[in-house]
Chains A and B, each alone.
Chain A
Amino acid sequence: MESISYAKSEPNLDAVFAALADPTRRAILSKLAAGEASVKDIAAPFDMSQPAVSKHLRVLEEAGLVARGVDKQRRPARLKAEPMAAAADWLAEFKAFWSESFDQLDGLLDDLKRAEKKGTY
């Protein structure tokens, strides 16, 4: 029970990171951060066909980063924040592990230097 308790509502981080690993998809997310948009709107600034954009959108949708509207003609895409927040938390933890460890090492080195001066270590 313990081992699954923290994983039950986790978004699929593997899919999130795989989706974020592509510069075009990150650019699409940036565009959607300004508000929902149709495939046509999204494709406009890129030198890319609408089917190619749709393919990227599908990857983002499967990762839970994007939701598509029900309007049959436009199916506007919009951002969903939760998986991104989970990915950010993961990265923050990884980084914090090392930076906080090294903060502790700074303190330890100070202690050791003081002890060396007194000849006690």
Chain B
Amino acid sequence: MNAAANELPTYVLERTFDAPRDLVWRTFTEADLLARWYGPNIETVIHQLDVTPGGLWLVEMKMGERSGYQRIEYSEVKPPERLVWLQSNADADWNIAPNPMMADWPLTLLTTVTFAEENAKTNMRLTWVPHEASEAEIACFAAAVQGLDKGWAAGMAILEAMLAELQVE
């Protein structure tokens, strides 16, 4: 069987940006630009950014009193078309740590981002795959991936039915 790698659940996110590829690349690799978009409506502090193979991106996201920390280690850097990194939650000392909300969330996700230019626009494709994950982590991520894509529509329908039922009770 050569399917081992293919059997891993994968989450795919695709997006087209109305900008040339070189510019999109800069927003992913220059700290002052990265800090301006990474993290939704929260203060993002980039403590370290070294976009080279083996280099680290250490990022703190301030959410009120609380901070979330992410540790990212680059494994492949091919300007301006491909970035590969290993992404983990971290503690305040930048040690890899389990997700505080879900113990079985994969400790490390292999992230691959590719950029393709077409008619002065840039198509970005970002994928996540559990990295060196346990069976429990893979199962947890697989269930979540089903939820993250259109499969969750069925779950949502169930949820709506349940919520309606609860309100009757």
How many A residues are at the interface, by size bracket? 35 or more
How many B residues are at the interface, by size bracket? 35 or more
Q: How far is the CA of A2 from the CA of B65 in the complex (A)?
A: 8
Q: How far is the CB of B5 from chain A (nearest CB, A)?
A: 19
Q: How far is the CB of A53 from chain B (nearest CB, A)?
A: 18
In the complex, are the beta carbons of A20 and B100 less than 8 A apart?
no
One of A25-33, A42-50, A68-76 contacting the partner: A25-33
In the complex, are the beta carbons of B143 and A17 less than 8 A apart?
yes
In the complex, are the beta carbons of B158 and A30 less than 8 A apart?
yes
In the complex, are the beta carbons of A91 and B147 less than 8 A apart?
yes
In the complex, are the beta carbons of B159 and A84 less than 8 A apart?
yes
- Decide if A79 is an interface residue (CB 8 Å cutoff): yes
Q: How far is the CA of A113 from the CA of B33 in the complex (A)?
A: 13
Which residues of B lie under 8 Å from residue A21 when comparing CB positions? Answer: 139-140, 142-143, 146
In the complex, are the beta carbons of B36 and A104 less than 8 A apart?
yes
Q: How far is the CA of A98 from the CA of B100 in the complex (A)?
A: 19
In the complex, are the beta carbons of A20 and B156 less than 8 A apart?
no
Among A7, A84, A106, A116, the residue within 8 A (CB) of B18 is: A106
Which residues of B lie under 8 Å from residue A116 when comparing CB positions? Answer: 23
Q: Given A14-B103, A21-B139, A94–B148 Cβ distance below 8 Å?
A: yes
**Smallest Cβ-Cβ distance to B163: which chain A residue:** A81
Binding site for A on B (CB under 8 A): 13, 15, 17-19, 23-24, 26-27, 33, 36-41, 65-66, 100-104, 126, 136, 139-140, 142-144, 146-148, 152, 154-159, 161-163, 165-166
11 chain-A/chain-B pairs, Cβ below 8 angstroms: A14-B140, A17-B143, A18-B139, A88-B159, A96-B40, A100-B41, A101-B40, A106-B17, A108-B36, A110-B19, A112-B19
